[in-house]
């Protein structure tokens, strides 16, 4: 397996080269979880992995609760399927709580405060109500619980991690919270081993070829847990060594990989970059080394699976403009590819 093979397989498995899905919930379920702190760009990440989805369709799916947004794994926002949210929280929340422990202590938050705030949240939201963070904070203040922005974020994240709240529909551009048990139908609880095995399987199916270290970075779980999950993978998963590292993947039929070329405007924190600790496969060899460290996080231009530059959007006089900054001189063909990618993004926005 070569670098080109890794790129081709990842593009296919991430549903970027030949999307098989038509709804946002299908994409999110396939991916297991999708980083989404940049909400607008996270919607674009879903659209890249589906056929003919525009922004309004994804917004509607979110508002209807067909996809949810909460804190999972690493302490950041993720899109997740309602069917998966409970077992994912049970598996990953303890690690996130451990990561957040310093901030909890720094802001004077302990189990007594959390219990009091959780009771207030339940009281305010029960009955199918949806409230913004500021509205819930007003109830905290009335009860004598006053904290700053970081402390409030910790209070809300703790309630998410404990499975009390999840995302509700947006009110204009404002996000709301809902009670998880009212927003999501009950699901069969997973054992810790079942949840671990399912997450590992979902990751290497949707993002392989990848290493166990990639999974540890993405999931926030321990190397010991990762090794246990990998050992539980079904026999149809393959392993191969490249440059001394073991890559795990689920092989696809040759006919499925006959169209490896794919180009797009990659969103911030897209899973094509952020899901891997080692991102060498998608880095341009022509780019200065000091620029490559940020390639997985910013908005990047991808040509045939490899980063070719960055992009930014601005709106002037109601007109959307996309500025591309390449990391090397582009050919006429590459400029045409980028122009097509820009038109695809504009179509997603309804332009």
Higher-confidence residue of 122 and 316: namely 122
Contact 237, 202 (CB under 8 A): no
pLDDT (0 to 100) of residue 331? 95
Position of tokens 């540890």?
216
Residue 252: band (very low, low, confident or very high) from pLDDT cuts 50, 70, 90: confident
Encode burial over 20-56: b for 16+ CB neighbours within 10 A, e otherwise: ebebbbbbbbbbbbbbbebeebbbbbbbbbbeebebe
**HEC letters along 233-246:** CCCCCEEEEECCEE
Q: Dump pLDDT digits (tens) for 11-24.
A: 999 999 999 999 99
DSSP 52: S
CATH fold group of domain 34-183: Arc Repressor Mutant, subunit A (1.10.10)
What is the overall mean pLDDT for the chain?
93
* Beta-sheet pairing, 238-242 with 306-316: unpaired
pLDDT (0 to 100) of residue 298? 83
pLDDT (0 to 100) of residue 256? 56
pLDDT (0 to 100) of residue 289? 53
Task: Tell which residue, 324, 243, 326, 242, has the closest CA to residue 286.
Answer: 326
Position of tokens 């080269």?
17
pLDDT (0 to 100) of residue 296? 57
pLDDT (0 to 100) of residue 255? 54
Contact 28, 34 (CB under 8 A): yes
DSSP 283: S
Q: Dump pLDDT digits (tens) for 289-335.
A: 545 555 556 899 999 999 999 999 999 888 899 999 998 999 999 99
pLDDT over 90 (residue 351):
no
Q: Dump pLDDT digits (tens) for 125-174.
A: 999 999 999 999 999 999 999 999 999 999 999 999 999 999 999 999 99
What's the average model confidence in pLDDT over 58-76? 96
Q: Dump pLDDT digits (tens) for 332-346.
A: 999 999 999 999 999
* Beta-sheet pairing, 264-266 with 300-303: antiparallel
pLDDT (0 to 100) of residue 1? 78
Helix ranges, the chain (H): 3-13, 24-31, 39-48, 55-63, 85-106, 111-125, 133-142, 149-161, 180-183, 192-207, 212-219, 223-231, 271-274, 289-292, 332-348
Delimiting residues of CATH 1.10.10.10 domain(s) in the chain: 34-183
Beta-carbon count within 10 A of 5 CB: 17
Least confident stretch, 95-104, 115-124, 191-200, 316-325: 316-325
Contact 103, 201 (CB under 8 A): no
Question: Residues of the chain with pLDDT > 90: what percent?
Answer: 85
Task: Tell which residue, 79, 73, 65, 81, has the closest CA to residue 35.
Answer: 79
pLDDT over 80 (residue 99):
yes
CB-facing half-sphere around the CA of 346: CA atoms within 13 A: 13
pLDDT (0 to 100) of residue 284? 84
- Taking the alpha carbons at both ends of the chain, their separation in whole angstroms is 41
Residue 287: band (very low, low, confident or very high) from pLDDT cuts 50, 70, 90: low
If you count them, how many residues does the chain have?
A: 351
């Amino acid at each position: 397996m070569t670098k080109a093979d890794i790129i081709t397989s990842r593009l296919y498995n991430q549903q970027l080269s030949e999307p098989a899905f038509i709804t946002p919930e299908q994409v999110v379920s396939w991916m297991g979880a999708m980083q989404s702190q940049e909400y607008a760009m996270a919607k674009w990440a879903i659209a890249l992995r589906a056929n003919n989805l525009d922004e309004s369709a994804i917004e509607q799916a979110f508002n209807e609760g067909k996809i949810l947004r909460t804190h999972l794994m690493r302490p950041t926002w993720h899109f997740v399927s309602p069917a998966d949210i409970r077992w994912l929280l049970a598996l990953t929340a303890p690690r996130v709580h451990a990561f957040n422990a310093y901030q909890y202590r720094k802001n004077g938050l302990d189990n007594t405060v959390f219990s009091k705030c959780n009771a207030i949240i339940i009281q305010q939201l029960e009955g199918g109500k949806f409230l913004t963070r500021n509205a819930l904070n007003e109830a905290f203040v009335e009860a004598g619980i006053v904290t700053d922005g970081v402390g409030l974020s910790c209070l809300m994240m703790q309630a998410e991690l404990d499975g009390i709240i999840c995302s509700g529909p947006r009110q204009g551009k404002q996000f709301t919270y809902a009670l998880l048990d009212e927003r999501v139908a009950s699901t069969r609880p997973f054992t810790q081993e079942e949840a671990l095995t399912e997450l590992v399987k979902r990751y290497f199916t949707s993002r392989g070829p990848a290493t166990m270290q990639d999974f540890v970075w993405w999931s926030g779980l321990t190397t010991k847990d990762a090794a246990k999950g990998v050992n539980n993978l079904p026999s149809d998963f393959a392993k191969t060594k490249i440059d001394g590292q073991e890559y795990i993947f689920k092989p696809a039929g040759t006919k499925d990989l006959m169209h490896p070329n794919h180009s797009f405007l990659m969103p911030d924190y897209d899973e094509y970059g952020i899901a891997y600790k080692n991102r060498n496969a998608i880095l341009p060899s022509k780019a200065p080394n000091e620029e490559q460290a940020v390639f997985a996080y910013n908005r990047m231009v991808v040509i045939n699976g490899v980063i070719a530059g960055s992009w930014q959007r601005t709106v002037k006089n109601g007109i959307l403009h996309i500025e591309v900054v390449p990391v090397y001189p582009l050919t006429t063909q590459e400029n045409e590819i980028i122009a097509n990618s820009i038109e695809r993004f504009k179509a997603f926005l309804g332009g």
